[in-house]
Amino acid sequence: MPAIETIISPALFHLYEEGLEQKNVVVIDILRATTTICVAFANGAREILPVAKPEEAAAMQQMGWIAAAERMGETVSGFDLGNSPQDYTRERVAGQKIALTTTNGTRALQMCSTAKHVWAGSFLNLQTLCDRLLTENNDLLLFCAGWKDKFNLEDTLFAGAVALVLRDRFTITDDATLAAMDLYEKARTALPEYLQKASHDIRFNSLHIESDLEACLKINTLNVLPEFKNGTIQNGQHA
Ligand code: 3SL
């Protein structure tokens, strides 16, 4: 059976890179990049280009793309959008191409670009993602984007949620994945309450974007499957 491993921080990514071309990866940035990417596709975005720097997104703006940039949780001044899923409405993004840069999420996507498949995971598309993963026979890395190379609770909880759905079809002997599953079992019945102690929750409160937390913790509300391929993200699932 294929195996699941969980990378709890981008700082550990190098430990899992061997044979990456044969592995599938789910990039996880629950608060908020991969959630926002899912919402953008659910609302009809055509393509999302993850870029490293705001200047790169700004350059795409000249070519008619929406330029979206977040740093330290805030929209970078002069950009069309930041990283709040609530701003990626159908009116704003349907039919549009978006160049996006965020503090951790877009960086994590670029780090694993040579993997066999790279998908963006969020609680909103958990079941759609897992349905696809259940058809795959390659080893799977659950890659938590974290916060500036530090561990975070919400990405690890999502890794646990995925592993729990997949556990009968994958070998799970990796301690990080086992810990993530235990953590999700503990938190699953009251996820928002459990996350009140998380560093991101505290940061969101200080930025007055608490409502994004609720938006990012809805489970199985979207039937989208963003896939990062050939340098860009498209929706591999059409309802
Ligand atoms: O780091 C990221 O990619 C972001 O998701 C961080 S934030 O939610 O916009 O603060």
Q: Is residue 199 very low, low, confident or very high in pLDDT (cuts 50, 70, 90)?
A: confident
Please state the rounded mean pLDDT for residues 202-217: 87
CA 109 to chain centre: 8
203 Cα nearest atom in ligand 1: 10
C-beta of 103 in contact with ligand 1 (< 6 A): yes
How far apart CA 67 and CA 56 sit, in angstroms, is: 9
Rounded to the nearest whole angstrom, what is the distance from the C-alpha of residue 55 to the centroid of ligand 1? 18
Run of H or E including 120: strand 117-121
Residues 30-72: tens digit of each pLDDT? 999 999 999 999 999 999 999 999 999 999 999 999 999 999 8
Ligand 1, atom 7, residue with closest C-alpha: 73
Please state the rounded mean pLDDT for residues 5-28: 98
How far apart CA 72 and CA 49 sit, in angstroms, is: 20
C-beta of 102 in contact with ligand 1 (< 6 A): yes
Instruction: Give, for ligand 1, the residue of 102, 122, 212 to mutate: max count of ligand atoms closer than 8 Å to Cβ.
Output: 102
Please state the rounded mean pLDDT for residues 199-223: 89
Residues 107-149: tens digit of each pLDDT? 999 999 999 999 999 999 999 999 999 999 999 999 999 999 9
32 Cα nearest atom in ligand 1: 5
82 Cα nearest atom in ligand 1: 9
pLDDT at 202: 83
Residue 237 confidence (pLDDT) above 80: no
User: Which amino acid type is present at position 46?
Assistant: R
C-beta of 144 in contact with ligand 1 (< 6 A): no
C-beta of 107 in contact with ligand 1 (< 6 A): no
C-beta of 70 in contact with ligand 1 (< 6 A): yes
Q: Is 202 exposed, middle or buried (0-12, 13-18, 19+ CB in 10 A)?
A: exposed
Instruction: Give, for ligand 1, the residue of 9, 28, 31, 143 to mutate: max count of ligand atoms closer than 8 Å to Cβ.
Output: 31
How far apart CA 2 and CA 172 sit, in angstroms, is: 9
pLDDT at 61: 93
Share of residues in the chain with pLDDT > 90 (%):
90
31 Cα nearest atom in ligand 1: 8
Rounded to the nearest whole angstrom, what is the distance from the C-alpha of residue 202 to the centroid of ligand 1? 14
Q: Is residue 238 very low, low, confident or very high in pLDDT (cuts 50, 70, 90)?
A: low
The upper half-sphere exposure of residue 121, i.e. CA atoms within 13 Å in the direction of its Cβ, equals 31
